[in-house]
Each structure stands twice: as C-alpha cells, then as structure tokens.
Amino acid sequence: MHHPASYYQQLLTRYLDGNCTPAEVEELLAWLNTPEARRAALTTMQEDFERTMSTPVNVPEAMSNRVETRLLQEISKNKVVPMYQQRRKKWLAAAAAMTALVVSAGYFIKHHRVQPAVIQPIVHVTDIKPGSDKAILTLADGTQVTLDSAGHQVIAQGGTQIKQKNGQLQYVAAGNATQAVIYNMLRVPRGGQFKLVLPDGTTVWLNAASSLRYPTAFTGNSRTVEIEGQAYFEVAQNSNKPFIVQAGKTTIQVLGTGFDIMSYPDEKEQRTTLVDGAVKVISGKTEKILKPGQQVALDNETGVATVQDADVQGVIAWKTGFFEFDNVSLATVLRQLGRWYDLDIDNRFLHNNARLGGRISRNLPLSEILPMLRSAGADFHLNGRTLTVTAADN
C-alpha cells in the first residue's frame, strides 16, 4: 500500500523512539530503499534534532542522548542493525545511502550554544557520478594499457601473463628464478579504484589517486613493492620471503597479514592500520610493531610516529564502498571527495572549524553528498570539475 511521505516520516520518528512494531520496521525498510525516501528522511532527522535541541544547552555537558544514529544498516539483508548511541558532541545530519545500506552522516558541534542548522538544497548543477573500476597499467617498456570494469584481456610480458577480468588484474608468473626483474606500475586516477593480484598471490585493493610499482615476478629474498596513495593488502604467507612495502620514507615489513596504508602526499599524516597478523613500520630510526586493531600515524612534517588503537572498519570502509568519518575536518572530507569524484577543490574562501562524522555510501552521485555537508556551514558551487566551497549564507 502506498502512503504519502508524511506517513513514513512519522514512522521513521517512531523508529528513532524505539516504538516500531516488527511489521512497521519491515515497511520502513522497504520505503527507505526507494529514491524518494532520501529527502523525506533527511527532513525527519533534521526535525528530530531541532525538537531535541529546542532548549538551549551547553553541548559538552548536557548533550541529549536523543542525538543518536539508530538508523538501519543493512537493507539488502533485510535486518536492522542499530548503530551505537552517540554520547559525544555529535548529531545526525542526514540519512544517506539508501540503496545497498542505510547509513548516517553526523555533525560534530563545536559551539557552546546550539543553533539548529537548516538544511537547504544545493544550487542545481550538472551531476557527477561516483568513481568506478579503472586504472592505467604501465608495462616495463613504457607501454600503457587502459583498464576498466568491462575489460577482459590477456597481456604477455616476458615470461609473465597478465590477465584482466572486469575490475581486477592478475599476474601469473612463469616461475623462472633466473629471469631479469622487470617492473610494472598500476596507477589508479582520481575517480577510480582497482584490484590487483600480484605474482605471489598477494591481493591489493588500490583507492583513487593511488599507484603501485611492483616486479612482475618475486625472484629475490624478499617481495618489495612501492605505494603512493592508499591501498589495502592481503599478503600471501611466505615466511622465507618477507613482504615489504615502501611508502615514501617509510618501510612496512610483513610475513602474512591484512593491513591498510594511507600515504597521500597532500595528507598531514601517513597511516598504517593492521587488520590481522603483524607488521613492523620503520621510518628513519623509529620502529613500531603493530598488533591487530592498531595504527601508526606518522606526521609528515615532524616525523613523529604514534601508535594508537584504530577503528579498523572505519579505516577500510573505502574498500567496502563507503566514506567513513570520525571527528574529521571539512577539508579532510573534501580531499576524499575530490579523489573519488575527480574534483579540484577550491576551499580558500572557507574558514571553518566544523568536525564531521558519519558513514556515507561511495555509490551516491555528488548531488546527494553535498547537501549533507552544508550542515557544516558550507556552500558549494560546481564549475566543470572544480568545486568551490564558501561559507553558507545564514
């Protein structure tokens, strides 16, 4: 039975209050999986926040427990996974990805006095689609091969076969230990991502604006590759031949493990996050050994390395199709958007200390991402591939 949007908005409010019956939850899930649900859900979340915060309070001391993100997480599996209660300085600004997952975006309030934000539509622009599987493979002789999600080919290079199938590249080495070592480079442009299986069976997921240089066969005493940007590694075990990743001045040594490294030149820190196994991170005279769930953050200016506990699922969210932010600056969010949507970001006119948090699908078009960020006090103007960010009009 079809109901007007107001009916589902009331149902969403009941869900946030914990008053939905199982049948109503199923009905709400079905509605949230439709395109028209997004704007209505956003409005409901905003009204819910304003109702909660209608009485001025000092945010750090008295933020209401009503500011939570009890939205639905896995529509495709037809079940509700409530997210944890937000007791920090955080509130939901939007319900975001309602295709595969229903997620939420948050706004960390930094002021002592709460002024409820008004969600306004962004100016109409030509929409930009999200990124896709694409990369450029540079062979040892300099030949460049363009790869995409639809490609299916076999490339012969010396004694090595390179097989491309859809969004994955796989190396099959001939196993000749005496052959000369030659190198390939896989470069993923802005607006892209790609998966690579190295000759030893190690699998690498490359994020947008990233590159990996590697030999076409691991013939020596170690397996060494070079990374710039962000990649997730699932390293094939070989205790006799350690796997080594060079990222700028940092060396990561592994035997067999899953880890993420983020080493973009325009980021303040280089971060290595261990999912399982063990790694040693070496930078200059500093050595850090990580345990699963830990991260080493290396300040690119000072060279200081800090080991800290990490939100592993948040770190590798990009690999599973999400942006995930936790108390990050708007500039940090914009850098990620720039890489994924292939945008030049001009934010010199924005002086904004807002901190953002939340989880947003990377499958959304840009037009559905930007209105969420406007809650942080920013306006957006798109001209070709240049996104200009200014302070929002109040």
Residue ranges covered by each domain of the chain: 5-128+320-391, 129-220, 235-310
* Confidence band for 1, pLDDT divided at 50, 70 and 90: low
Give pLDDT tens digits for 143-168: 999 999 888 889 888 778 899 988 89
CB 32, CB 44: distance < 8 Å:
no
Q: What top-level class would CATH report for the domain 235-310? A: mainly beta
User: What integer pLDDT is reported at residue 68 of this predicted model?
Assistant: 30
User: What integer pLDDT is reported at residue 38 of this predicted model?
Assistant: 57
Which of 280, 269, 332, 272 has its CA nearest to residue 302? 269
User: What integer pLDDT is reported at residue 114 of this predicted model?
Assistant: 31
Q: Bigger pLDDT: 32 or 127? A: 127
User: What integer pLDDT is reported at residue 167 of this predicted model?
Assistant: 84
Most confident of 78-87, 108-117, 188-197, 352-361: 188-197
Q: What are φ and ψ of residue 312, in 5° steps?
A: -60, -45
Give pLDDT tens digits for 112-124: 223 333 333 444 4
CB atoms within 10 A of CB 221: 9
Q: What is the model's pTM?
A: 0.73
Local structure of 15: helix, strand or coil: helix
Local structure of 114: helix, strand or coil: coil
Name beta bridge partners: 213: 185, 226
Reported as type and span, the H/E element at residue 59 is: helix 59-62
CB atoms within 10 A of CB 307: 15
Rounded mean pLDDT of 302-327?
91
Rounded mean pLDDT of 340-350?
91
Same fold, 5-128+320-391 and 235-310: no
**Is a pLDDT exceeding 70 seen at residue 73?**
no
Q: Strand 243-247 vs strand 223-234: parallel, antiparallel, or unpaired?
A: parallel
Q: Strand 132-138 vs strand 192-197: parallel, antiparallel, or unpaired?
A: parallel
Choice among 5-14, 222-231, 379-388 with the minimum mean pLDDT: 5-14
Q: How far is CA 21 from the centre of its chain?
A: 34
- CA 328/CA 354 separation, integer angstroms: 8
Give pLDDT tens digits for 202-228: 999 999 999 999 999 898 889 999 999
Tokens 């969420």 correspond to 372
Q: What are φ and ψ of residue 388, in 5° steps?
A: -95, 130
User: What integer pLDDT is reported at residue 356 of this predicted model?
Assistant: 83
The alpha-helical segments, DSSP class H, found in the chain are 5-16, 22-32, 37-52, 59-62, 312-315, 330-341, 366-373
* Confidence band for 42, pLDDT divided at 50, 70 and 90: low
CA atoms within 13 A on the CB side of 353: 3
User: What integer pLDDT is reported at residue 63 of this predicted model?
Assistant: 30
Record the tokens describing residue 152, joined without a space. Answer: 């299916």
Local structure of 90: helix, strand or coil: coil
User: What integer pLDDT is reported at residue 120 of this predicted model?
Assistant: 39
Rg of the Cα atoms in the chain:
23
Fold adopted by 5-128+320-391: Phage tail protein beta-alpha-beta fold (3.55.50)
Task: Report which residue type is found at 235.
Answer: V
In eight-state DSSP terms, residue 276 is: E
